[in-house]
Structure 1
């Protein structure tokens, strides 16, 4: 394949929302809802930055397997009702999922080095 390229790419952050998906190892996160254990296998964390503010995690959407083997979706709102801070009473493991997603998003130290030419 013949390829040529020129220019100097510049990135602008116009998106105010970024979703980061994580595939979770089976059995590492169990969510309990209405007495049923749900084994989470995927989390989609929604980050937003409004009007030049820092990025904030707003919501986590979990895909899980219910006790009968069916797939279940569970949405956890991370912000309080006034949307000015974190929601009280969320389990610490939910915030660990958010921290993992932030790492994958590059906010907490993901680095990349291009191949040596």
Structure 2
């Protein structure tokens, strides 16, 4: 699970701070949304505090993005229009991870999307 933890620390946490900077959101605001002391935000930024799965939804809500956006930033998930432009098709997200271990890749995808994962392709 160290690879999964490193993925989160190196990518998701970095994306959180990029979104905060872009939207002008202060560390105090994020800390309040996460229910933690503001000092823990700096600890998290330095990679010395793991992000808890239970905090991800609160973070996304605070930043005004989806949970998926935290993993894919600056790319954003946008539902495709159906053929003919009437309504939306079934939501589809493609997330490419370059990880050697397919079990670790599956763990990262499950962490990002929970039980909503319908298909995992290990290439």
Q: Is this a same-fold pair by TM over 0.5?
A: no
* Bigger share in strand: 1
Q: Which structure has more helix as a fraction of its residues?
A: 2
Whose radius of gyration is greater, 1 or 2? 1
State TM-score, norm by structure 1.
0.28
More relative contact order, 1 or 2 (CA 8 Å, 6+ apart): 2
